């Protein structure tokens, strides 16, 4: 494939149906008409999820563990055993590294398959994923391939994280530090400690049970091991910054027009993490009403941009806070956002 700096770059949300369509379009074609699909992106961004997420009834063959256990012969045997009546996806994770370790096996799987000589039936499609700094580093092993870059939009990921009730302070941190959602592939840090959406998700689950305020050393050690030194230090500095934020119930109890308590009044940048805390507060009708009142007080009493207020309102609606509660507690707030949510 000739080098070109221009190639499709898709969010996870867009890549899922796009790759599913590519897989579906190629399944059933003659070998000579099939191209491997190559997905490039940061570690943990979700390339394998994209490759397998919409595979439907397809049989999935993970090449990496098979090659590690039995080499090329084991992979050829596994591919030959595929049911020709079913579509199949052969997933090659870490394609650049595997192409170096098992060059003959990868060449046979890809080049011979496209020429009609490998032990893959016409319903099989090969999908290769890689996180190399150079997106074209693993393409020579693939021959002609369809290359897509996959990335996770930080704002969309944070929307998903709030709907899944991940730790709101961590979500607020990533909203204000979107560059840390996943690490730079060119960083000198070992690959194992680069931040990624999957690692932030795991860290959120741990922080739910071990708050930094209760055991800061343990929490910092865990974060260092999951997301690396830079992201962990930034995160714990952020935890200290937001430690004195008022609770959503305290904000909701303020009289209309009352000044916001510190540190909200002094630092408008804290509006985003406060908005995340407010959305996470809504777990039933009583706390949902408090959350809506708290958002109304925050919106009226700070230099909060309309975008942040809309963001929090959307989170609350995604958490199924009834419109009736908005109309009862903050009708003006909801009316001002109608048509943009």
Q: Which stretch of 134-148, 302-316, 325-339 has the lowest confidence by average pLDDT?
A: 134-148
Higher pLDDT, 328 or 24: 328
Q: How far is CA 151 from CA 44, 221, 296, in A?
A: 10, 28, 34
Mean per-residue pLDDT for 258-283? 86
Quick one: CATH architecture of 9-151? 3-Layer(aba) Sandwich (3.40)
Question: Is residue 189 classed as helix, strand or coil in its secondary structure?
Answer: coil
Q: How far is CA 171 from CA 72, 160, 225, 275, in A?
A: 43, 10, 19, 10
30 pLDDT more than 60: no
45-57 confidence digits (pLDDT tens):
788 888 876 556 6
Q: Which of 81, 132, 65, 140 is nearest to 107 (CA)?
A: 140
| Burial grade of 230 (CB within 10 A; 0-12, 13-18, 19 or more) | middle
Cβ atoms of 208 and 65 closer than 8 Å: no
In the chain, where the domains are located: 9-151, 154-337
Beta bridge partners of 126: 90
| pTM of the entire predicted model | 0.67
175-189 confidence digits (pLDDT tens):
888 888 877 544 445
- 117: confidence class by pLDDT, cuts 50, 70, 90: very low
Q: Tokens representing 323?
A: 């419109």
Q: How far apart are CA 173 and CA 164, in angstroms?
A: 16
56-115 confidence digits (pLDDT tens):
667 888 888 988 888 888 888 888 888 877 778 888 888 888 878 888 777 777 665 554
């Amino acid at each position: 494939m000739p080098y070109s700096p221009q190639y499709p770059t898709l969010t996870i949300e867009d890549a899922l149906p796009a790759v599913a369509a590519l897989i579906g379009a190629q399944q059933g074609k003659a070998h000579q008409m099939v191209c491997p699909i190559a997905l490039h992106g940061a570690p943990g961004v979700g390339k394998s999820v994209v490759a397998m997420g919409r595979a439907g009834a397809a049989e999935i063959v993970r090449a990496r563990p098979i090659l590690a256990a039995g080499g090329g012969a084991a992979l050829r045997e596994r591919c030959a055993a595929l049911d020709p009546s079913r579509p199949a996806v052969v997933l090659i994770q870490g394609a650049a590294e595997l192409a170096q370790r098992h060059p003959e096996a990868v060449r046979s799987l890809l080049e011979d398959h496209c020429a009609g000589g490998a032990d893959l039936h016409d319903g099989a499609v090969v999908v290769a994923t890689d996180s190399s700094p150079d997106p074209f580093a693993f393409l020579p092993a693939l021959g002609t391939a369809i290359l897509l870059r996959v990335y996770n939009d930080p704002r969309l990921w944070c929307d998903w994280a709030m709907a899944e009730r991940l730790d709101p302070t961590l979500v607020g941190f990533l909203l204000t530090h979107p560059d840390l959602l996943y690490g730079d592939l060119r960083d000198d840090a070992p690959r194992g400690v680069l931040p990624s959406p999957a690692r932030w998700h795991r860290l959120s689950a741990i922080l739910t049970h071990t708050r930094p305020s209760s055991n800061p050393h343990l929490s910092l050690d865990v974060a260092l091991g999951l997301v690396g030194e830079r992201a962990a230090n930034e995160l714990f500095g952020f935890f200290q910054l937001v430690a004195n934020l008022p609770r959503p119930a305290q904000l909701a109890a303020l009289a209309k027009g009352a000044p916001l308590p510190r540190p909200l009044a002094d630092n408008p940048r804290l509006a985003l993490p406060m908005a995340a805390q407010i959305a996470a507060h809504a777990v039933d009708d009583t706390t949902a009403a408090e959350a809506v009142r708290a958002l109304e007080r925050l919106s009226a009493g700070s230099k909060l941009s309309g975008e942040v207020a809309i963001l929090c309102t959307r989170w609350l609606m995604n958490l199924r806070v009834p419109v009736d509660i908005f109309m009862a507690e903050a009708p003006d707030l909801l009316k001002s956002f109608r048509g943009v949510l």
